[in-house]
Amino acid sequence: EGQLLESGGGLVQPGGSLRLSCAASEFTFRNYNMAWVRQAPGKGLEWVSIIGRDVAVTIYADSVKGRFTISRDNSKNTLSLQMNSLRDEDTAVYYCAKKGMEAPGNNWFDSWGQGILVTVSS
Amino acid sequence: EIVMTQSPATLSVSPGERATLSCRASQSVDNNLAWYQQKAGQAPRLLIYDASTRATGIAARFSGSGSGTEFTLTISSLESEDFAIYYCQQCKSWPLTFGGGTKVEIK
């Protein structure tokens, strides 16, 4: 199923920026859509963004559209999330997740990173 | 946006008993539904996809059923490691959405 390891989280002030990274291993990274899912403290799961395996397609939740940018480097097996104009409500554990199948459609996730905490606070 | 509603919010069950968790979609998602298990401090783990297909390595006591707007996750005989929060997720349309979760706790 693969291994995923997030990095780059931390404390940032409202209005600030942060870049998350996710290092992928033990699967053919370039063949799979990849996503970010977040979880605010004590809350449920919220899908944030997804990127197609060939980078051409990126989709965002309305809550982050225009502020967050998902990207990937298939040569380095790395997924990234650039987060700008951060708000208090962006405070969450951010997970990177691998789509379960190479085939189009059915965007469920069979492998997740351990998560990285992003805290937006003054 | 498709809203996913899970019930009950909390389910109290004794080890060895059967647990039945429900997930309802605000519009049809066909069979494009997944279930995840999350334990405290851990990432979610995929249990079921396509509404009824067990993911790799998932025990046979977990089963999923349903299509359209009504779905069920059944744990046939609860074991101690099954006490956790369970989420459903629709993958029919954008944005992808999760239910609010059902916490399965020890009775």
CA distances for A78 relative to A35, A42, B13, B20, angstroms: 12, 28, 42, 39
pLDDT in tens, B17-74: 999 999 999 999 999 999 999 999 999 999 999 999 999 999 999 999 999 999 999 9
Residues in B whose CB is inside 8 Å of some CB of A read: 32, 34, 36, 38, 42-46, 49-50, 55-56, 87, 89, 91, 94-101
Q: What is the pLDDT of residue A1?
A: 75
Residue length of chain B: 107
Q: Which of A35, A59, A100 sits opposite B49 (nearest CB)?
A: A100
Q: What is the pLDDT of residue A22?
A: 98
Lowest mean pLDDT segment, chosen from A93-107, B3-17, B79-93: A93-107
Q: What is the pLDDT of residue B1?
A: 96
Contact B94, B1 (CB under 8 A): no
Q: What is the pLDDT of residue A102?
A: 80
B2 secondary structure, DSSP code: -
Q: In A, which residues are within 8 Å of B91 by CB distance? A: 105-108
Q: In A, which residues are within 8 Å of B96 by CB distance? A: 35, 47, 50, 107
Chain A nearest CA to B17, separation (Å): 26
**Per-residue pLDDT of chain A in tens (122 residues, 90 and over written 9):** 789 999 999 999 999 999 999 999 999 999 999 999 999 999 999 999 999 988 789 999 999 999 999 999 999 999 999 999 999 999 999 999 999 888 777 899 999 999 999 999 99
Structure tokens at A73: 């480097």
Q: Which of B43, B45, B98 sits opposite A47 (nearest CB)?
A: B98
Chain B nearest CA to A14, separation (Å): 25
The candidate with the shortest Cα–Cα distance to B35, out of B69, B64, B75, is: B64
**Edge-to-edge strands of the sheet including B19-25?**
B4-7, B19-25, B70-75, B62-67
Q: What is the pLDDT of residue B73?
A: 98
Would you give the distance in Å from CA A39 to the centre of its chain? 11
CA distances for A28 relative to A22, A91, A99, A101, angstroms: 14, 31, 12, 11
The percent of chain B in helix, strand and coil, each rounded to the nearest 5, is 5, 50, 50
